[in-house]
């Protein structure tokens, strides 16, 4: 019986997580794309990433990681758009988990 109860609780948790997925706010990746073009990194797989960023945008978390690889803070590249992406996700998180949730 314990196995069955555990399985049911995992199913409920998965359904809850599926309904409460936080959508990443995507920011315009053009400044980062231009910076990468000046660095001249054009391997085949990375070119695909650049094209995806150009059509879809980039999440604040990916922006942070890729800017840091080049030695920049994302605010230097994206300006206030970087923080807008983070604040949007923080609001979604509070909506889902409550105002008192640690972000």
* Span 77-99, pLDDT tens digits: 999 888 876 776 677 667 767 66
Mean pLDDT of 27-49: 80
Sorted by sequence, the CB contacts under 8 Å of residue 68 that are 6+ apart come out as 74
Please tell me the predicted confidence (pLDDT) of residue 29.
92
Task: Give this prediction's pTM.
Answer: 0.61
Structure-model confidence comparison of residues 37 and 33, the more confident one: 33
Q: Give the separation between CA 46 and CA 70, rounded to whole angstroms.
A: 14
Please tell me the predicted confidence (pLDDT) of residue 42.
57
Go through 40-65 and write b for each residue having 16 or more CB atoms within 10 A of its CB, e for each that does not: eeeeeeeeebbeebeeebbbbebbbe
């Amino acid at each position: 019986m314990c196995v069955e109860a555990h399985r049911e609780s995992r199913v409920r948790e998965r359904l809850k997580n599926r309904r409460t997925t936080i959508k990443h706010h995507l920011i315009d990746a053009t400044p980062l794309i231009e910076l990468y073009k000046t660095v001249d990194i054009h391997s085949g797989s990375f070119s695909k990433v650049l094209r995806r960023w150009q059509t879809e945008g980039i999440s604040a978390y990916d922006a942070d990681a890729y800017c840091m690889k080049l030695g920049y803070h994302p605010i230097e590249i994206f300006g206030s758009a970087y923080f807008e992406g983070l604040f949007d996700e923080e609001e979604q998180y509070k909506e889902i988990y409550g105002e008192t949730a640690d972000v």
